[in-house]
Amino acid sequence: MSLPIRIVLVDTSLARNIGSAARAMKTMGLDDLRLVRPQQFPHAEATSLAAGAADLLDRARVCDGILDAVSDCGLVLGASARPRSANWNVLDARGAAARAVETAAGAPVAILFGNERNGLSNDDLALCQALLAIPSDPAYESLNLAQAVQVVCYEIRMAQAAQPRRLERDIPPATAAEVGRLHEHLARVLDAIEFTAARNGPQVVGRLQRLLGRAEPDQEEVQVLRGILTAVERSLGSRGER
């Protein structure tokens, strides 16, 4: 039975990379492929490069945005070869695979791969709890998209083999959709109390989003945080009525 771990390709330029990624997934026992704004799909070249994995392409879901692709996921990881802000947790492929397999016991997991030229943007990473980096020679850090997918899928396969017995979490992790709504609620309250007006609003909100990502809150923790924000909104409203 395939693990509930999905591969999400974002803004992929070349059809052949979609087909090769599908083949890489199937060889390692994964079958959930999501495509966010693909430039060439469906396409004969994708089907040709998929070889015996054309069924994954047939089932692949095309999404308008990343939230649509990961809304039900309890863990979202973003593959990145570029150095990012120090506020990110960065896992190597092996550590990320172990985390993905562990989380998949209780909730779906998504791993994002960006465009062949530019990778994932900071906006693309907003719902990620951590970054995934594949260690490579600093003199030539150049992996093809499908190669990167193959490495990650292999590590997932090995992590699954190393953890034959997985315990479910007592409380499921918050889904990406729930975390996204928390992000929106937090931004709305910060604006209402004029916290962001005196600061660089987008930067402050982005740092708080990364903080929440590192915390990996469960569903009850998200409900508590949103309850606090709702109480703040009610307090503001009652003061306005006086």
Would the pTM count as exceeding 0.85?
no
Written as one letter, the residue type at 144 is: N
User: Average pLDDT over the chain, rounded to whole?
Assistant: 91
Determine how many CB atoms are found less than 10 A away from the CB of residue 95.
Answer: 16
Minimum mean pLDDT range among 43-57, 86-100, 112-126, 192-206: 192-206
Q: Which two tokens stand for residue 222?
A: 């998200």
Cis peptide before 202 (omega within 30 of 0): no
Q: What pLDDT score does 241 carry?
A: 45
- For residue 220, the SS3 value is helix
5-162 belongs to CATH 3.40.1280.10: yes
Task: Tell me the C-alpha distance between 171 and 201, whole Å.
Answer: 33
Specify the CATH number of the domain 176-241.
1.10.8
pLDDT band at 86 (very low <50, low <70, confident <90, very high): low
Q: What pLDDT score does 242 carry?
A: 37
Between 235 and 19, residue with greater pLDDT = 19
User: What are the pLDDT digits (tens) for 207-226?
Assistant: 888 999 999 999 999 999 99
Q: Domain locations in the chain?
A: 5-162, 176-241
Q: What pLDDT score does 169 carry?
A: 60
Answer yes or no: is pLDDT of 128 > 80: yes
Determine how many CB atoms are found less than 10 A away from the CB of residue 201.
Answer: 14
The DSSP line for 111-176 is EEE-BTTTB--TTGGGG-SEEEE----TT-----HHHHHHHHHHHHHHHHHH-SS-PPPSSPBPPH
Q: Find, among 79, 74, 70, 81, the residue nearest to 32 by Cα.
A: 70
| Residue found by looking up tokens 């009850």 in the block | 220
